Amino acid sequence: MSTMMDMMKSMPQGEMAMDMTEMQDCIEACSAAAMAATMCADADAGQDMARCASMCLNTADVATAMMRMMMRPTGYDATVMRSMMMACVSMGEACAAECGAHAEMHDHCRICAAACDAMVKACQAAMPAA
């Protein structure tokens, strides 16, 4: 069992209505997307790709915020969590599309697009019902 899952099980759950395995997958996908997007933005900066770099930085910020919210189950609010996940999905889709447009020219964009796609899928799977 992972340290994250052990920690999640030790936390008071409050009103948490999300499956812990899906939560863990979403947290890990958000973390991976945040790292990939940060590195992609850094690589883009020297290649006159300002829009892509900005999109990546926004994605990294949203993914990091989502990840951190999920690690605080005692403050869980289904409406807020769903809204944040929808924002994460929207930003991930936009970044994946932008990076996907450069994927054939830049490996870092291809990797970032894949990480964003994975985050979108994980967030959609973990998203609480309306």
Looking at the chain, the whole-number percentage of residues with pLDDT higher than 90 is 62
Q: What is the CATH number of domain 20-126?
A: 1.20.1270
pLDDT of residue 130: 39
CA distance 22 to 26: 6
Question: Residue 75 to residues 10, 49, 72, 79, 82: CA-CA distances in angstroms?
Answer: 15, 38, 6, 12, 14
pLDDT of residue 46: 76
Q: What is the pTM of this model?
A: 0.86
Average pLDDT across the chain, whole number: 87
Provide mean pLDDT across the span 44-62: 91
| pLDDT tops 80 at residue 35 | yes
Give the range with max mean pLDDT: 15-24, 78-87, 110-119: 110-119
Provide mean pLDDT across the span 40-53: 89
- The 3-state DSSP composition of the chain as helix, strand, coil percent (nearest 5) reads 80, 0, 20
- The residue with greater pLDDT, 72 or 16, is 72
| pLDDT tops 70 at residue 115 | yes
pLDDT of residue 47: 77
pLDDT of residue 16: 57
